[in-house]
Structure 1
Amino acid sequence: MKIKDWLSFTPTPQITAQALHKQLKEEHNNLFLLDVRSHTEWKLSHIPSSHSRSVFSVDLTKIPKDKTIICICLTAHRSTPIVRELLRHGYNAYELHGGMRLWWKHDFPTEKS
């Protein structure tokens, strides 16, 4: 990950909580949910079927290229540089607009581990 991924003012593709919730019901097999919060945050509450990877330890070789990647964090700040890096490497990637805060606001399903 490059410093410009954190500082760039270029917008990243986003998906709303409502659109993601709908897609998870209809085509969940085509999505890979990448939660880049700390593992502790993820254990407290996460979207079902999401994969926990700290923003500083995302290994692109373990991310499937044949799925749409949805990056998740608390407020959509930590996910931004990851989405930029994924896009640079040819992935179809989006960040969850508003992060988990907006997901929780809509009271969509979560799990605890």
Structure 2
Amino acid sequence: MKITDWLSFTAVPQISAETLNTQLSEEGHNLFLLDVRSHTEWKLSHIPASHCIPVFNIDISQIPKDSRIICICLTAHRSTPIVRQLLRHGYDAYELTGGMRHWWKHHYPTNNHA
């Protein structure tokens, strides 16, 4: 990951919680939910079918290139540099607008293990 992935002021493509929830409920969606929070955060609450790979452990070669990638974190700050990195490598990547806080605000489904 480059320092400019963290410091850039360029916006990244985003998907709202509402749109993501709709897409997840439809058949045939081709999404890979990449949750970049810590394993502890993910275990407490996460979107079903999401994959937890903490932000500093990302190995881009393990991310499927044939799916739309939705990056998730708590408030959409850690996910931004990952989306930039994925876009640079030719991925179809988006950030969940507002992160998990926005998801929870709308009371969408989660797997809670707390």
Quick one: distance in 2 between partners of 1:28 and 1:81?
28
Superposed, 1:68-87 pairs within 5 Å as 68-87=68-87
Q: Which amino acid aligns with 1:24?
A: L
Which residue is 2:89 aligned to? 89
3-state secondary structure, aligned to 1:12: coil
3-state secondary structure, aligned to 2:95: strand
Tell me how far 1:69 sits from its aligned partner: 0.1
| 1:34 aligns to 2:34 (yes or no) | yes
Quick one: distance in 2 between partners of 1:101 and 1:82?
18
Identity %: 73
Which residue is 2:62 aligned to? 62
Unaligned stretches of 5+ residues in structure 1: none
Q: Which amino acid aligns with 2:87?
A: L
Across the aligned residues of Structure 1 and Structure 2, the Cα RMSD in angstroms comes to 1.0
Unaligned stretches of 5+ residues in structure 2: none
TM-score (normalised: structure 2): 0.96
TM-score (normalised: structure 1): 0.97
Quick one: distance in 2 between partners of 1:60 and 1:90?
11
3-state secondary structure, aligned to 1:56: helix
Task: Detail structure 1 runs of 4+ shifted over 6 Å in the superposition.
Answer: none
Quick one: distance in 1 between partners of 2:33 and 2:54?
13
Quick one: distance in 2 between partners of 1:99 and 1:16?
9
Q: Is the Cα–Cα contact under 8 Å of residues 23 and 29 in structure 2 kept in the other structure? A: no
Tell me how far 1:27 sits from its aligned partner: 4.2
Which residue is 1:4 aligned to? 4
Which residue is 1:51 aligned to? 51
Quick one: distance in 1 between partners of 2:87 and 2:96?
15
Tell me how far 1:28 sits from its aligned partner: 5.9
Quick one: distance in 1 between partners of 2:111 and 2:96?
17
Number of residue pairs the alignment of both structures matches: 113
3-state secondary structure, aligned to 2:57: coil
Which residue is 2:19 aligned to? 19
